[in-house]
Amino acid sequence: MLEILAEAADKGIGLAGAGIGAGLATLGSGMGIGRIGGQAVEAIARQPEAGGRIATNMIIAAALIEGFTFFALVICILILGKFPG
């Protein structure tokens, strides 16, 4: 009986960890991209002639953040696969 309870507790903790990890990864990337966008707009407002370079750097940084987010979400999905229904 205790073995069944221990297995259920491990499964629940693993599922909760995957859910929390996915939520934190998504939250962090949303905050990061929002901050990048805001700072880029402020920089372009201060120096309009550098707008093209600023926008390019903003897109590259946002793509790197998105790449990290997708990696983190894939890891969370893989963790969910370790705990079959």
Q: Which residue carries 């700072």 as its tokens?
A: 39
Domain ranges of the chain: 22-80
pLDDT at 85 over 80: no
What is 22-80's CATH topology?
Answer: F1FO ATP Synthase (1.20.20)
pLDDT, tens digit, 9 for 90 and up, residues 22-78: 999 999 999 999 999 999 999 999 999 999 999 999 999 999 999 999 999 999 888
DSSP letters spanning 53-76: HHHHHHHHHHHHHHHHHHHHHHHH
pTM, whole model, 2 decimals? Answer: 0.77
